[in-house]
Amino acid sequence: MSDNEFLRSIEDNFKKAASFLDLDDGLAHKIMITNSTYVVRFGVRLRGSLHTFTGYRSVHSEHFEPVKGGIRFNEHVSQEEVEALASLMTYKCALMEIPFGGSKGGLIINPSDWNETELERITRRFTQELAKRDLIHPSQNVPAPDVGTGEREMAWMADEYKRLNPTDLHAWACVTGKPAGKGGIAGRTEATGRGVQYGLQEFFRHKIDVEKTGLSGNLKGKRIIIQGLGNVGYHAALFLSTEDGALITHVLERGGAIVNENGIDITALRAHIMKNGTVEGFDGFVKSGIEMLEADADILIPAAMELVITEDNAPNIKTPLIIEAANGPISAKGDAIIRDRGIVVIPDLYANAGGVTVSYFEWIKNLTRIRFGRLQRRQSENHFNAIISGVEMMTGKPFPDDLRDRALTGATELDLVRSGLEDTMRQAYIDISAEWNANPEIPDLRTAAMKIAVQRVSSSYSSLGI
């Protein structure tokens, strides 16, 4: 599937949602198209010769600044893919009520072709090129990790930006997803997977939506297929299995799949992959591929790359519920087939927004230069200790030890991040569900979510006189 199709899928979703709004044609077109894309080709002398790399940074919408979006390192990165992901970021931030515009970046590179020292030099040179155009800047454009990048690369980029701007007080806010010791925030690594969990939990609180799938109850015992056990898929699978009692029955990875109808031990599988670089050799291994998306289960979580469900395999999907942990895993044509078959899809612009939500928290932390909870944690402990002492005095009975410990443990940064993420995910789903159920002409959650996002972007532009 081409990157052009990915971009067209997002534009088709936009047009469908915009049809439910009274938008001027000119404004609708302005919202849909990408504002700008910067293409850079830079040289780095490595291994005795000069190597030229091509990178991109797209800005889809500046209705809010800074704009926000990850940077991926992948040999298949293209301008169309980056522009599609930038537009998705605009709608995602608007839906989650995060005051960022949408952006995205990419570098055409296979990270495994280079050692760590070489990757650092390449990353720093890419940062220099972006910084020339303020395409990395704490108040204008804030990258984050994506496919092929992580805390390490973000630390390099932040440090390079700081070298270029030594007097910028907020320099470390130029990127998010940094290591904890370099201005990062607790819970950022798990954020997207945790957001998937919170999204599913909230879905199952809405009985009217659950009934449309033919499922019932909550997540306990639900059979789940995970496609991709990277950072997002791993954390989603881990939390759903250990905290919600769901059964991860299928894990699809490059080189094969793991199948266990009694539930896969996700921690053990992750350790096996980290040690061996493959799922092969783990209990339940089958040498199978993408067709395992069509296995029998309750919930399907595509958590890898875009366009894995298309018109070719959509007719064979058996799960009544899909939650898009990856960006754009279902093509527009595949989505139409899925919808016509009555399968409910929790869309990507909501489902994987946990990452940008916690990135927003990290950005705030960097600007304020104080970790969350530092001012109020002990005050909260003292406050509840006084209440417990009063209860004991009035009743003449000791407060239960387990409840005392819970009440007197003040919130850590991780507790506050998780709380903020859960609140954001829950409220966003409440809005989407209400929109979906209020208008019988809105066909699915994706259209409802996109309608909300487009309406908010439109309102922002209107307030600017555009």
Could you tell me the pLDDT band of residue 86, with boundaries at 50, 70 and 90? very high
**In the block, residue with structure tokens 């537009």:** 87
Q: How far apart are CA 191 and CA 185, in angstroms?
A: 10
Write out pLDDT tens, residues 220-233: 999 999 999 999 99
At residue 151, what are phi and psi to the nearest 5 degrees?
-55, -40
Distance CA 342, CA 320 (A): 8
Q: Is the pLDDT of residue 465 over 80?
A: no
The residue whose two tokens read 């469900």 is 309
For residues 243-253, one letter each, b for 16 or more C-beta atoms within 10 angstroms of the residue's C-beta and e for the rest, the string is: ebebbbbbbbb
pLDDT tens per residue, range 371-424: 888 888 888 888 888 999 999 999 999 999 888 888 888 889 999 999 999 999
Give 69's strand partners.
Answer: 143
* Cα–Cα nearest to 31, from 459, 466, 458: 458
- How much of the chain, in percent, has pLDDT values that exceed 90? 86
How high is the pLDDT of residue 1?
46
Separation CA 65–CA 301 (nearest Å): 32
How far, in Å, are 328, 349, 376, 440, 447 from residue 336 at the CA level?
Answer: 14, 17, 49, 17, 12
Q: How far apart are CA 86 and CA 180, in angstroms?
A: 26
Separation CA 120–CA 114 (nearest Å): 10
Q: What is the pLDDT of residue 126?
A: 98
Residues that are catalytic? 104
Distance of CA 189 to the CA centre of its chain: 10
In whole angstroms, give the CA distance from residue 302 to residue 236: 11
Tokens representing residue 390 in the block: 């009063």
Query: How far is it, in rounded angstroms, from Cα 180 to Cα 188?
Result: 9
326 token code pair: 């990856």
Q: Are 329 and 304 in contact (CB under 8 A)?
A: yes
**pLDDT the model gives residue 2:** 58
Place of tokens 């829950």: 426
Q: Which residue has the higher pLDDT, 44 or 5?
A: 44
pLDDT band, very low/low/confident/very high, at 305 (cuts 50, 70, 90): confident
Q: In this structure, what are the phi and psi dihedrals at residue 146, rounded to the nearest 5 degrees?
A: -150, -160
324, 302 Cβ separation under 8 angstroms? yes
CA gyration radius for the chain? 23
Per DSSP (E only), the strands in 75-215 are 101-108, 141-145
Band of residue 154 on the pLDDT scale cut at 50, 70, 90: very high
- For 250-266, what is each residue's pLDDT tens digit? 999 988 999 999 999 99
Contact 237, 229 (CB under 8 A): yes
Distance between CA atoms of 352 and 327, rounded to whole angstroms? 7
From 8-17, 54-63, 129-138, 223-232, the region with the lowest mean pLDDT: 8-17
Per-residue pLDDT at 436 exceeds 90: yes
